[in-house]
Amino acid sequence: MNVFCTAFFIIAKVFVLVVGFNSTHTFKPNIVMVMTDAFDGRLTFDPGSTLVQLPYTEYLRKQGAVFLNSYTNSPICCPSRAAMWSGRFVHLTQSWNNYKCLEDNATTWMDVLLKYGYHTRSLGKLDFTSGSHSVSNRVEAWTRDVPFLLRQEGRPVTDLTGNGSTVRVMTKDWKTTDSATQWIRQSAAFLSQPFALYLGLNLPHPYRTDSLGPTAGGSTFRTSPYWLKKVSQELISVPKWLSFSEMHPIDYYSTFTKNCSGNFTQKEVKDIRAFYYAMCAEADAMLGEVVEALRDAGLLSSTVLLFTSDHGDLAMEHRQFYKMSMFEGSSHVPLLVAGPGLKAGLLLPQPVSLVDIYPTVLDLAGVPAPGGLSGHTLLPLLSQSATLLAEPRPDWVFSEYHGCNANASTYMLRKGNWKYITYADGLSVPPQLFDLSSDKDELCNVASQFPAVCHHLDHILHTVVDYPTVSKEVQLYNRQQFSLWKQGLGDKYTSTISNLRWYLDWQKDPERNERAIDEWLKVST
């Protein structure tokens, strides 16, 4: 009986698909998004794709399109996801850091699809509303411009676990993936309406380092020999590092607070990079489980599948790991799209970002997009239909950052071969300019050599955001919130401070640091 029912519904789905293609105005595809955490987008195309075996990412690339210049709108978890779910730049939603993001009642594109008749389901990591993450994370963001350095992360390390047959290293992600594939096979195949499924993964985000305590971030790159075999060890490079004296002051601050200012052997660096790529391979396998479940349920031909990430990971480029930077390893994210009615085998060079997902998903579903979105639909670039008219879209992409591990608000504009990065009010901290056509490693800041280019890109940036004003707004928010937090702690203030991950640095000169914070707080009154 179950076999008969399954066959009946598969035939029905095929019938709907055929009818839908004959009448494109009525066909509404299923929409499935797999969103990873900290996946370097450069691995989804050559030469990055040769470093590690990613068969299902490659499958999407062949069956659909890969965007070669796709970026996060903020290189940290919650703000980037807030941009993706809302379709708006983070300064418009005031998603300043991992604690301050969207409100619980914010309207996401999933909410809009539900309103227009889609069955919706979200599983795994969402991480886009205010109030999450630790007290430590909040204080790191609030105190980022205090005049002393805070050691905020554990030193990046590797951890080899299991053996050559250990596939499920990130068990939490595998359980979530199992829930998604079970739902596809047992429920989605029998729906009488189109569905939208979101699967959020933690991988390849580094694991929490247990020795740093319960409030610690992640500085442990963990994998098994099974996944390490997927990595081409001979192709792993050791990134070139600038000397400390050559580093931009913001980059030096990030290097210090990420605990990367010490000595690292070439083997340590290569191991961290190899383990990171192996973690990407494990995430790709979870994507594969979703693809195979859709195939088994007869839904693959009626489903648009998107694969992306909230940000990347530097994996020891620029003497850093983690994200929180506008360098390519941190800000460049994967974006692959495949499905019915979409072109196959596309390598698209247009600059795009996470805010483009909101209008694209609604366009796929034939749903009108609301006003006030920062993004633009990507469907005109993807669709096989010659009748679709591409709406004017900018030839630049924008990202901003206001969180921890960087001691100034950061703004990036990518246009053509140029990447322009400016900080704070645009005057107090020197900008950076990289020509990615000749300097893909972003080691040569040519801002002083091309002042006209900087002026032009800064003018465009000002049309997107009044960034000096936004920087002041963020700074005021940080100081007011920290002041309220400190007052609320009362006698618990000192003990709570000592439990933070930058405890050792605080203890070097506690009286001086206490005076520094008191002076800092006066500015907010």
> Which residues are known to be catalytic?
77
Q: Are 340 and 302 in contact (CB under 8 A)?
A: yes
Residue 135: other Cβ atoms inside 10 A: 14
Strands lying side by side in the sheet with 432-435:
396-401, 410-415, 418-423, 432-435
- Residue 151 zone, left/alpha/beta (φ > 0; ψ -120 to 50; rest): beta
The single residue listed with the structure tokens 């789905």 is 13
State how far the alpha carbon of 472 is from the alpha carbons of 49, 287, 412, 430, in Å: 41, 41, 17, 17
**Residue 421 backbone dihedrals phi, psi, to 5 degrees:** -130, 125
Q: Are 43 and 51 in contact (CB under 8 A)?
A: yes
Instruction: Output the six-digit token pair for 438.
Output: 């000749």
Instruction: Output the six-digit token pair for 110.
Output: 């999933």
Q: What is the DSSP letter of 341?
A: T
Which among 51, 81, 99 has a CA at the least distance from the CA of 311? 81
Sign of CA dihedral 452, 454, 457, 462: negative
